[in-house]
């Protein structure tokens, strides 16, 4: 078989645990037999991040800037438990947060809709696409714990002047956190959301909590509103779509009652939580695509779920697992398609389309992993990860 040629390498970013195992299986069964794959490889496993003092994370983000397209495996974000488990030098930051900050992009997460898989929310007939701001908030926050009473304040220096803002007085032990954002990043986020909504011809929601956060969240709201009226209102009207701001609690209530079919823009932490909720409600965290888009049109594709630790430890015992690889397959197809579009090598785009079609046909034909078998409207054939990938390979 003549393999499809690739001009420019992808940035390939490997990860951790069960998704790392699936990563190699997907390449072996579904990609390498069909594509003359060229990648610039980065090992972002937790042990290698520790060995390189996390310089590897910065390096792979810079590679995406240089080459334009990356594909990333799920990675562990270190906590105290992981620090002890892996004997880490320190609790390294979330690699996703680091990459997002360097690229200053927006994350768009879209559920993969499959015939026969019923969402947990019966009204949802169309996808809800989550647009997550990819900079600042608690992911760049500074935290402090004190075991003694005292007074907390925030100070801001601007040239020769300074501003002191009282926060609170603690009568005993407590925790503090400061967060920030920038107008430049918020404008990039808002522009990306409006442009994406127009490209998909879907209405856009933005939700925050400006009634409580009267400066921080309200500033997001003001920037979105200003941009909409100055640059996008006419185009939205011509496309037959709308922009709406809602308090986040109102938006959650309305989303549950909706039929879907809109883009929902959220601040960084809100987007982190709501995207997992939406993915689970559509069927599985492993059935949601994720792409980070920078203001200068650099792209990083990844699965929207974690490293599936529980399955990994079963795998280490020699047990077969029924881990769902679909989102990781779609991370590869998204990156391959974008590489083809940018290089005008449209055979790559056609291969990506074909692989996605084969994946969906396999599920719609009744063969699937255990996480979505319980939602299938029929008689599912529940298989292991390896068996599922072989069925997809047979359908290509």
Pairing of strands 106-111, 128-133: antiparallel
In a domain, 305, yes or no: yes
Domain count, the chain: 3
Under the banding of pLDDT at 50, 70 and 90, the label for residue 97 is confident
Q: What is the mean pLDDT of residues 135-151?
A: 91
Residue 295, CB-side half-sphere exposure with 13 Å CA sphere? 14
The 10s digit of each residue's pLDDT in 216-259 is: 999 999 999 999 999 999 999 999 999 999 999 999 999 999 99
- Are both 124 and 257 inside the same structural domain? yes
**Above 80 in pLDDT, residue 195?**
yes
Q: What is the pLDDT of residue 249?
A: 95
Q: What is the pLDDT of residue 19?
A: 96
- For 383, the domain range is 1-109+299-396
Specify whether the CB–CB gap between 179 and 125 falls below 8 A. no
- Are both 315 and 346 inside the same structural domain? yes
Phi/psi for 86 (5° steps) reads -105, 5
Q: What is the mean pLDDT of residues 117-126?
A: 89
In a domain, 288, yes or no: no
Question: How high is the mean pLDDT of the chain?
Answer: 94
Distance between the two ends of the chain, CA-based, in angstroms? 13
- Are both 73 and 206 inside the same structural domain? no
Q: What is the distance between the alpha carbons of residues 312 and 317, in angstroms, rounded to a whole number?
A: 9
Q: Name the CA radius of gyration of the chain, rounded.
A: 22
**Above 80 in pLDDT, residue 300?**
yes
Question: From the CB of residue 105, how many other CB atoms can be counted at a distance below 10 Å?
Answer: 28
Own/partner pairs, 141-144, CB within 8 angstroms, 24+ separation = 141/177, 141/178, 141/179, 141/180, 142/177, 142/178, 143/175, 143/176, 143/177, 144/175, 144/176, 144/177
In a domain, 293, yes or no: no
Give the burial string for 312-348 (b: 16+ CB within 10 Å, else e).
Answer: beebeeeeebbbbbbbbbbbbbbbbbbbbebbebeeb
Highest-pLDDT range among 98-102, 107-111, 230-234, 284-288: 230-234
Q: What is the pLDDT of residue 54?
A: 96
The 10s digit of each residue's pLDDT in 39-94 is: 999 999 999 999 999 999 999 999 999 999 999 999 999 999 999 999 999 999 89
Q: What is the mean pLDDT of residues 356-375?
A: 94
Secondary structure (DSSP) of 24-83? HHHIIIIITTTEE--EEEEE--HHHHHHTTTHHHHHHHHHHHHHSEEEE---PPP-HHHH
- Are both 189 and 162 inside the same structural domain? no
Q: What is the pLDDT of residue 1?
A: 63
Task: Note the Cα 278 to chain centre separation in Å.
Answer: 12
Phi/psi for 168 (5° steps) reads -165, 170
Q: What is the mean pLDDT of residues 94-110?
A: 90
In a domain, 101, yes or no: yes
- Are both 164 and 269 inside the same structural domain? no
Whether pTM exceeds 0.75: yes
Q: What is the pLDDT of residue 279?
A: 86
In a domain, 294, yes or no: no
């Amino acid at each position: 078989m003549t393999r499809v040629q690739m001009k420019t390498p992808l940035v390939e970013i490997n990860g951790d645990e069960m998704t790392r195992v699936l990563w190699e299986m997907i390449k072996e069964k579904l990609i390498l037999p069909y594509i003359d794959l060229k990648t610039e490889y980065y090992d972002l496993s937790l042990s290698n991040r520790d060995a390189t003092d996390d310089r590897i994370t910065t390096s792979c983000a810079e590679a995406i800037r240089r080459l334009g397209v990356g594909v990333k495996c799920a990675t562990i974000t270190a906590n105290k438990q992981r620090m002890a488990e892996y004997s880490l030098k320190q609790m390294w930051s979330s690699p996703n947060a680091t990459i997002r900050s360097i690229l200053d992009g927006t994350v768009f997460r879209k559920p993969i809709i499959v015939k026969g898989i019923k969402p947990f929310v019966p009204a949802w007939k169309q996808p809800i696409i989550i647009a997550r701001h990819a900079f600042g908030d608690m992911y760049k926050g500074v935290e402090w714990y004190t075991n003694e009473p005292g007074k907390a304040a925030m100070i801001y220096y601007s040239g020769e002047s300074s501003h002191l803002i009282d926060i609170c007085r603690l009568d005993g032990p407590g925790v503090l956190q400061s967060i920030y954002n920038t107008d430049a990043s918020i404008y990039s986020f808002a522009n990306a959301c409006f442009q994406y909504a127009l490209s998909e011809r879907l209405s856009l929601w933005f939700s925050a909590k400006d009634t409580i956060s009267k400066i921080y969240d309200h500033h997001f709201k003001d920037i979105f509103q200003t941009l909409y009226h100055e640059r996008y209102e006419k185009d939205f009207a011509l496309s037959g779509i709308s922009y709406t701001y809602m308090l986040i609690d109102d938006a959650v209530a309305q989303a549950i009652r909706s039929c879907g079919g809109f883009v929902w823009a959220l601040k960084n932490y809100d987007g982190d939580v709501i995207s997992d909720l939406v993915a689970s409600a559509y069927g599985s965290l492993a059935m949601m695509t994720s792409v980070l888009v920078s203001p200068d049109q650099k792209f990083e594709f990844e699965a929207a779920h974690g490293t599936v630790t529980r399955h990994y430890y079963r795998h280490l015992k020699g047990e077969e697992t029924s881990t769902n690889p679909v989102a990781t397959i779609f991370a590869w197809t998204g990156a391959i398609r974008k590489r083809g579009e940018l290089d005008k090598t449209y055979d790559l785009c056609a291969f990506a389309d074909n692989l996605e079609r084969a994946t969906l046909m396999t599920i719609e034909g009744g063969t699937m992993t255990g996480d979505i078998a319980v939602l299938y409207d029929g008689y599912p054939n529940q298989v292991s990860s390896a068996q599922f990938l072989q069925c997809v390979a047979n359908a290509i």
